[in-house]
Each structure stands twice: as structure tokens, then as C-alpha cells.
Amino acid sequence: MNTVSESFVLAAGLVTHFDPHLVDIVFLSLRVSLTATFFAACLGLPLGAAIAVGRFPGRDALIVVLNAMMGLPPVVVGLVVYLLLSRAGPLGSLGLLFTPGAMVIAQAILITPIIAALTRQTVSDAWGEYREQLTSLGAGTYRAAMTLLWDTRFSLATVLLAGFGRAIAEVGAVMIVGGNINGVTRVMTTTIALETSKGDLPLALALGLVLIAIVLLLNSAAHATRGWAKAHFG
Amino acid sequence: MRRAGGQRRTLAETVTGLPIVLADVAAAPGGVPVLAGIDLMLDAGGRTVLLGPNGAGKSTLLRVLHGLIPPSAGWIEWGGATLRPRGQAMVFQRPVMLRRSAAENIRYALDLAGINGADADARIAEALDEVGLRALANRPARVLSGGEQQKLAFARVWALRPEVVFLDEPTASLDPAAARSVEKIIVDIHRRGTTIVMTTHNLVQAKRLADDILFLHAGRVTERTPAREFFAEPRSVEAAAFLEGERL
């Protein structure tokens, strides 16, 4: 086993030399998590806006459920998706288990409530400010929801980044439904878990550095976006 | 609203929403009783100013008239219909602008009213000229000053050409120069045939702008009097005390 300092040096070498194995894992992680975020956004943004603007029976209960689902345990999501996609499961015929597709599904399920709940909160705050004006102008519920989604786009970009951050940092669900197959479903987090358990720290550390860099980059982007939007759009 | 040929009607072409008739109307926004026993008819063409002390129900009455707050009792009709017509607009004390340019804020309102294309372009240019904001057409609306945003709210009204406009203390947060500028816009909008219903705490402004005064006290209309007469000799004790600066 390498010493910690040797591991750091080797890890830095892997990153700076764009080690092909490491690059493949990073790209697979990005592909899976970005795709999951896209599908979660397609569902979560309109769902959150509809709950924020709409008034219907059971709305309060739905908000409570949605907020509670933000804390969904990834391994439970992984287990449920596993059961659905396993050969004996209702979606077994799709043959998605242990593929990146299954990992996308698991991550999308995990972050859709996060995106929907944060969207609801963001749009709800805006609705409090805009409601009378939009109603006065004759905007119906659908038009108001679409207007608010667009008008809060910079805050919602942060929401999407939060969802993506949660997806790419998640390990439990993708481990179960992806199987951590080398070159097929092995992403950054599952590789880190595996390599650490094997005592092979350089690759784990290198991926950890990349993961932290991605998270830092996302937060910087969110911060910069908010600042730019405030200055340019008020 | 669509015609057989597929063209949409515009605000100006809508069936008239005047007179507005309220019969024994009460309102309790958020469950708190604010208005009670309001009987009122607002006809076309006038400039009516709602006066009264804080908490009298002026802003609530304005919202009931505009259809933003449904009556908790009694009934309201706009031109004989129970559904609010589209030929109305409202300017709030603090205007709400969308995160887009000044011109696009007006375009959004026009689009909701079914006015698009070259007609919308012409109306936007005319409206921005009217309020003196042509040079700021492409400036994000929310970075404009408070006075400019209020003028933009009036430009939105100007472009919509409503038959009645409700103004909720439109100059309350403006400096005197901006307030006078907004008053001029109000007069211009009225000259074009738009009925004005507004609230204000500024008695001098009410004298300048009002044809008649609707005085509210504790959620009830205590008198409705031509402005000249109201300021010379109010009929109700509450109005007299209000003008004297006394609290009942």
C-alpha cells in the first residue's frame, strides 16, 4: 500500500496527465448525471411551478410529501429501481439493469423531488410578489406558472446545479442498479468506494479531487450566475 | 376570444365592462372583514378618487372593483356581467416588473390581451414616448428607479388602452417631481376616454385630479360627492373630521 503522501502525488499525476481510465470514468459520471438532471428538470420544474401557482385539494399534503422525498435514501431508491428493472420485475423486459440507463433512472428519481421542491419554493416566493399583477393582466394559471419559471430562471439554474451536484455525488443507488462494472457502469463515486476498499488509493484520490473540483465549479457557477443576474436583471 | 376569421379581439374591442355595480358588497380578504354594505355604481368617463383614513378599505375596494378580491357577500357586475371583463387595468403602489426589458414588459401585457405583431410594436413605442421612457426601452425593467418603474406601469396601461384603470396610491412612493409627472400621465390617460378610479392620501392631488370623491370610513362608504363640493363642505361627519386632520 502506498503512503498517503505518495498516493496524493500519484493521484495528482493521474489528473494532470489525463489518465485515460480516469477520463473515461469522469465522462461516464458526467453523462449519467447530466442526463438524469435533464429528465429530472423536465419533470421537476413544471411540477414545482404547478404546485406553487395551482390551488387544488391535497396541495398541502403534496408539498409535505415532496419535501419529505428530498431526503430519499439513495440505497432505497436503488433497491426499488433494482426490483423494477430486475428480470423478474415489471420492467425487466427492457434489459436496463446494470446499464448506464438504469443509473440515470435511479439518479433522476432521487433528484426529481429535490428539483420539484426547490422549484416550488422559488416560484411560490415569486408568485407572492407577482400574483396580483399577473392576475390583473389576465394571466391564467398555466401562463402565470410559465412566466414565473422564466422570471426565476437564474434561481432555478442554482436549483438544477444543486440537483446535479446531488446526482453526481451519489453512490448507493448507482452501485446497486449499475453493478459497478468496469468500463460500463463504473462512475466516480463507485470507483472511489471500490478502490478505497482495495487499498489502491491514487485512483480513488484522483477521482475525489475531480469530484471536489466539479462541486466547487458548480458552486462558483451558481454564485456567479446569481451575481450577474442581479446586476443585469434586478 | 376569437372571431370566425381567426383574429383575436383586443382590449379596446371588448364588450364594455361599465358601469360597475356593487350591491351590498362585503369583503373579507384573508378572513378579515374589511368592507361591508357597499352599494355603488361607477359609470364611464369619470375620475373618481377614493379617500379615507388608513384601514378604511380603499385598496380593498379597488381590488374588489377590479375583480382581484371576490366579495364575501353581495354581488358585483361589470357592464351587466358577473365575470370581470378584460378592458380593465390596474397600477399598484409598488409596480411589479418582470425580469425583462421595459419594452418586453409592455409586450407581455399586450400579448395577454391578444395584441401582437406590428400593432404591439407601435403601441409599445407610443406608450414609452408618452411616459418619456423611450430611451430606456431596452433597459431591464427591474433596474429602473422607482419613479421610472411606476411610469413604465403607466406605459403598460397606455398601451393596453383599457376602458377603466384602477390606481392604488400610484404616487405614494415618488418624489414630488415624479409624482407630478405621473399625474400628467393620469390626466392624459383620462383624456383618451379611460375611466379613472384611484386611491390617494394626498388631498391636494385629489383636488387636482378628482371629478368626484368616494369617502370610506371603517369599511363603509359614508359619502360620494363631487370633488369641489366635498372639499368645500363635506356631507359626512367622518369626512369633515378627516379633512380637519382629526381622528374619529
State ipTM: 0.89
Sign of the torsion angle spanned by Cα atoms B194, B200, B205, B208: positive
Directed axis angle between helix A100-137 and helix A59-69, to 10°?
Answer: 140
pLDDT digits (tens, 9 = 90+) for B42-96: 999 899 999 999 999 999 999 999 999 999 999 999 999 988 888 999 999 998 9
Mean pLDDT of all residues belonging to chain B? 91
On whether the CB atoms of residues A44 and A107 are closer than 8 A, the answer is no
pLDDT digits (tens, 9 = 90+) for B166-208: 999 999 988 999 999 999 999 999 999 999 999 999 999 999 9
Given this model, what pLDDT does residue B248 score? 59
Given this model, what pLDDT does residue B83 score? 87
* Nearest chain B CA: its distance from A137 CA (Å): 6
If you count residue pairs, one on A and one on B, with CB atoms under 8 Å apart, how many are there?
Answer: 49
DSSP B54: T
Chain A touched by B1 (CB under 8 Å): no
Contacts of B108 in chain A (CB under 8 A): 137, 147
Given a cut of 80, whether residue B27 has pLDDT beyond it is yes
The three-state secondary structure class of B76 is: strand
On whether the CB atoms of residues B122 and B181 are closer than 8 A, the answer is no
pLDDT digits (tens, 9 = 90+) for A24-66: 999 999 999 999 999 999 999 999 999 999 999 999 999 999 9
Chain A touched by B64 (CB under 8 Å): no
Nearest CA in chain B to A135: B68
- Give the pLDDT mean for B130-153: 95
| Residue A78 to residue A106: CA distance in whole angstroms | 6
Given this model, what pLDDT does residue B15 score? 58
Closest partner residue to A132 (CB to CB) among B68, B97, B99 is B68
Closest CA to A119 of A86, A163, A84, A89: A163
Q: What are φ and ψ of residue B76, in 5° steps? A: -135, 140
pLDDT above 90 coverage of chain B, percent: 84
Q: Which three cell numbers stand for residue B109?
A: 401585457
**In chain A, count of helices (H) and strands (E)?**
10, 0
Question: Structural domains in chain A?
Answer: 4-233 (1.10.3720.10)
Best of B97, B98, B139 to mutate (most A CBs within 10 Å, chain A): B98
